[in-house]
Chains A and B, each alone.
Chain A
Amino acid sequence: MDSVLLAASLAASSCWLAIGVAGLLPAAPAFILRLLFPAGAATGLALAVIGAQAAWLPPSMLVLPLGLPDLPFHLRLDPLAGFFLLLLGAVGAGVSVHAMGYWRGEPPQRLRLICLQYHVFLASMAFVLLADDAYLFMVAWETMTLSSYFLVTTDHQRASIRSAGFLYLLMAHIGAIAILLCFGVMHGAGGDYTFDALRAADLTPFWANVAFVLAFLGFGAKAGLIPLHAWLPEAHPAAPSPVSALLSGVMIKTAIYGMVRAAYDLIGSVRWEWGMLVLLVGAGTTLFGVLFALMQHDLKRLLAYHSVENIGIILLGLGLSMVFFGFGHPAAGALGLIAALYHTLNHAVFKGLLFLGAGSILHATGLRDLNAMGGLIRAMPATAFYFLVGALAISALPPLNGFVSEWLTFQAALQAPLLEHGVVRSLLPLFAAALALAGALTAMCFVKVFGVAFLGRARSESAAKKEASLPERLGMAWLTAGCFVLGLFPAAMLHMLNQVGASLTGGSLPSEAIESSWLWLVPTTAAQASYSPLVFLLVVLAVVLITFALVRRFYHGRMRVADPWDCGYPEQTTRMQDSADAFGQPIRVVFGPLYRIHHHHPGPEDARPRYAVHVEDRHWYWLYLPVARLAEYASSRVGLLQRGRISTYLLYSFVTLIALLVFVR
């Protein structure tokens, strides 16, 4: 039974590859849009079903006679991989459906290439999850990086997009080097590079620490931890929107998969010091991400910074889990891991949805700048509804899905009294405080996004156009349904993730939590904490409906429509509404020292006065630009060797040969 599932997931991943290649056929664009993308979506659904099944079953393995001689590809489907396949398949399906509408009107030649790269990208992510040896893992990882690089640079005619793509490629490869070194360290002295051999290798604590730090850095560069996040806000906006949805929704989650796989499975014994490192970086990443998101007025850049923030929230759950496992509290550790994985799935669903929504806005209006939008809810009511659900979900408001995983993370942090180590015990609640602050800031940011983009009056001529096409709406509706299902029925997910965690670590939630009914979400015991989103929603809905009926019954529904209050000043323009930058002003004042802010004020004699404010990321100035200058300096020194004369090069060869003869022999 289990090997059937593995074979099926292999078939589905190969199906994506085949669809990609079929895209190169010289057929009409309708063939790609109406046939290949839906087929890709169906493959995604199949993979999601397979993954959901595999999360409950013991692992199964397969060896493929491919790859280098004596180095076959090993595949393995275990509950952890199954869970991430579910994520990849479900989100991929929604994005593929949206893409059918989004890429209408692309030139055929470009569309063929997009179709190839897009499906290779999907397939490579599936192979990353299925890989069971370091060799296949790295091949799939690099394929994922390269295919996504080409997707990011789809509009490569623009220089800004080329440089964003280069930055992405560079950071991805710095990460890949760290991952490669990590496998080397885990490998130790003997054996081969199958994950089984890596699991069996007996590392000293020092080398285990080195392996973990390398894995954390390597996968962290892909996930967008500070200070390795710089590529994210450049690459995500550069890519076409369905690709941004995949990058942000799924690809950065493969990095979370890699961290969990490396720390809990391959290295094995988790240490609490790792947890503290992950918590510190996670808290910094969360707060930094949301504070910079609040400063953005480019919708896709803003969403990219929120991906940084949410990776931080996932890391908070992961770090709590490591601390508890490190101190020998498997039940609390399992809770932290479940919270992290739940948030991984939730973020994939709502961030995918928000990027698709941003794509539909871009498609319908040609705008990415929030300051030019406004009142879109009138032209695009369906898109507005889906976007609102995504915005409420990411703001961690009950009863949607973002709240469930943040609630579980809080509950994990509140297990702190279990710990014997006094300092760590007092520090854990501070991370909960960071999470609370980030959650409230996110709510502010999405009030800004939704309020400025969809509500109020149009700020420019191009803002009000037409509703998104049917496939685009279907794609968004699918992910919106995901936000509701994951939010309203969390107990089923909790059981599945408990299974995943137990298969990985042996740690499981207390029996009261597992045996609680589907209606109640109970992380430990019912006396300690419980939450029922369905009851929550039903009570609010019932009160809303009853109140509405009573008001109509006892009073009246009379209503007049009039101009809004103009404060006695009739010359109102739409530019007097809050812009995205104006909405972020309190943050600029309260958190000023964190940013590099440039104000531009007009002088008293300016004929065309202009006000502007630019906010920059300090990391560029203390880290990236110095490193870039150092690299430039080093290469200019090395460049001294390159004289461009053949005789000089022959001299080098001669000297090298002599040296080798003398020293090596």
Chain B
Amino acid sequence: MSAVALQLLQSLLVVLAAPLVLGWVNICRAWLQNRSAPSVLLPYYTLAKLFHKDAVIANTTSPLFRVTPYVLFGCMWLAAGIVPVLATDLPFAPAADIIALVGAFATARVFGALAAMDTGTSFGGLGARREMMIGFLAEPAMLMTLFTAAFISGSTQLTTIVETLAHREFAIYPSLAFAAVAFLMALLAENARIPVDNPATHLELTMVHEAMILEYSARHLALIEWAVATKLTVYMAIGFALFLPWGIAPAADWGALPLALGVFAAKAALAGAGLAFLETVLAKMRIFMVAEFLSTAFLLGVLGMLIHFLMRG
């Protein structure tokens, strides 16, 4: 029973804390850009405001358009429950390994793109097309980095990967270094961050994710924004699980939980600041440069995997 409680606690924590992570990234970026920063709680205020508003739905849409925000939110909840954030003792974790996790993100992406096509406007199609292009480039890169970790630990189960990687002797794995760079590039693309997409722009020529959700308003938009924030936090958690697996509580050790929480907060604060730094020093690239960017990520992932086999063999 306690395991189920822990499971629910972790999912709830990730989903509830996700806007905070986003708020932290935003204020870090404001500081770096010499602007005066908004409150770190601004994403929560925005969500509350959106939930209170009346929804406006385009008359060209079908019911799929209204279901999609809930589906996206559900997929991200599932992901938040599977990635070991606080502890590895998660009863739902065997329901999906890393491949199924990537599948859950792909499901969310496909529904988002379909909803965009559903609006019947040129913006919707433009956003969906670009989003799917980034998706098909980022997904294989993501899988390659995950496979590198899977080969090192002999498992595609995230909990097993964390337990193997966290308890090995400290050694630098060159394969993991390649995988980490590839993972970071895929993370930027999958979460619509600079240099691939700019979450703050509404300029027709450049927007990708924002073009897809242009027709959404009020509670639907709130759910989507919340799902996007959750996705970013979950991706960070996957990165910690693969590359900084220390501090996550092992199975059946409740005493380690407060420490795990603190360690996760520290890692997230650092990662958020790092993301803000990257977004400050990089410029958004032209849309077809993304293909080069992500194929580099893919090749780095493949190289990491080959290096693993070479060093072992």
- The verdict on A544 contacting B133 (CB below 8 Å), with A410-B99, A451-B125 known, is no
Contacts of B287 in A (CB 8 A): 586
Distance A398 CA – B100 CA, assembled complex (angstroms): 7
For residue B245, give the distance in angstroms from its CB to the closest CB of chain A: 16
Counting CB contacts under 8 A, is A594 at the interface?
no
Q: B residues 138-173 with Cβ under 8 Å of A?
A: 139-140, 143-144, 147, 150-151, 154-157, 160
Counting CB contacts under 8 A, is A417 at the interface?
yes
For residue A205, give the distance in angstroms from its CB to the closest CB of chain B: 27
**Interface residues of B toward A: which range?**
35 or more
- The verdict on A529 contacting B114 (CB below 8 Å), with A397-B103, A426-B309 known, is no
For residue A413, give the distance in angstroms from its CB to the closest CB of chain B: 9
Q: Which residue of chain B has the shortest Cβ distance to A591 in the bound complex?
A: B291
Contacts of B78 in A (CB 8 A): 536, 539-540, 543
Interface string of B17-60 (1 = CB under 8 A from A): 00000000000000000000000000000000001101111111
On whether the beta carbons of B219 and A551 are closer than 8 Å, the reply is: yes
Of B68-76, B252-260, B263-271, which binds chain A? B68-76
Of B115-123, B193-201, B233-241, B273-281, which binds chain A? B115-123
Distance A527 CA – B160 CA, assembled complex (angstroms): 7
On whether the beta carbons of A426 and B74 are closer than 8 Å, the reply is: no
For residue A543, give the distance in angstroms from its CB to the closest CB of chain B: 4
Counting CB contacts under 8 A, is B247 at the interface?
no
How many pairs, one residue from A and one from B, have CB atoms within 8 Å of each other in the complex?
Answer: 258
On whether the beta carbons of B160 and A531 are closer than 8 Å, the reply is: no
On whether the beta carbons of B114 and A425 are closer than 8 Å, the reply is: no
Contacts of A410 in B (CB 8 A): 99, 156
Counting CB contacts under 8 A, is A437 at the interface?
yes
Q: A residues 566-620 with Cβ under 8 Å of B?
A: 566-567, 572, 574, 576-578, 582-583, 585-587, 589-590
On whether the beta carbons of B156 and A562 are closer than 8 Å, the reply is: no
Interface string of A419-444 (1 = CB under 8 A from B): 00010011001101100110111011
- The verdict on A456 contacting B117 (CB below 8 Å), with A529-B157, A540-B74 known, is yes
Distance A414 CA – B151 CA, assembled complex (angstroms): 7
On whether the beta carbons of A529 and B110 are closer than 8 Å, the reply is: no
Distance A564 CA – B214 CA, assembled complex (angstroms): 9
Interface string of A463-493 (1 = CB under 8 A from B): 0000000000000000000000000000000
Contact of B139 among A436, A446, A555, A589 (CB under 8 A): A436
On whether the beta carbons of B219 and A555 are closer than 8 Å, the reply is: yes
Counting CB contacts under 8 A, is A640 at the interface?
no
Number of interface residues of A (CB under 8 A): 83
- The verdict on A572 contacting B121 (CB below 8 Å), with A417-B151, A530-B97, A535-B92 known, is yes
Q: Which residue of chain B has the shortest Cβ distance to A539 in the bound complex?
A: B78
Contact of B123 among A528, A567, A585, A586 (CB under 8 A): A567
Counting CB contacts under 8 A, is A112 at the interface?
no
Counting CB contacts under 8 A, is A401 at the interface?
no
Contacts of A541 in B (CB 8 A): 74
Contacts of A529 in B (CB 8 A): 97, 155-157
For residue B82, give the distance in angstroms from its CB to the closest CB of chain A: 9
Of A173-181, A374-382, A624-632, which binds chain B? A374-382
A and B contact pairs by CB, cutoff 8 A, 7 listed? A396-B106, A407-B99, A426-B305, A443-B109, A443-B136, A535-B92, A547-B223
Given A443-B109, A457-B120, 5 extra CB contacts under 8 A: A377-B64, A440-B106, A539-B95, A555-B51, A589-B288
In order of increasing CB-CB distance, the 10 nearest A-B pairs are: A578-B125, A451-B117, A456-B120, A440-B136, A564-B58, A535-B95, A586-B133, A540-B74, A444-B132, A543-B74
B interface residues (Cβ-Cβ under 8 A, vs A): 51-52, 54-60, 62, 64, 67, 70-71, 73-75, 77-78, 81, 92, 94-97, 99-100, 103-104, 106-107, 109-110, 113-114, 116-126, 128-130, 132-133, 135-137, 139-140, 143-144, 147, 150-151, 154-157, 160, 204, 214-215, 219, 223, 287-288, 291, 298, 302, 305-306, 309-310, 312-313
A interface residues (Cβ-Cβ under 8 A, vs B): 374-375, 377-378, 392, 395-398, 403, 407, 410-411, 414, 416-417, 422, 425-426, 429-430, 432-433, 436-437, 439-441, 443-444, 446-448, 450-452, 454-457, 520, 526-532, 535-536, 539-541, 543-544, 547-548, 551, 554-556, 558-567, 572, 574, 576-578, 582-583, 585-587, 589-590
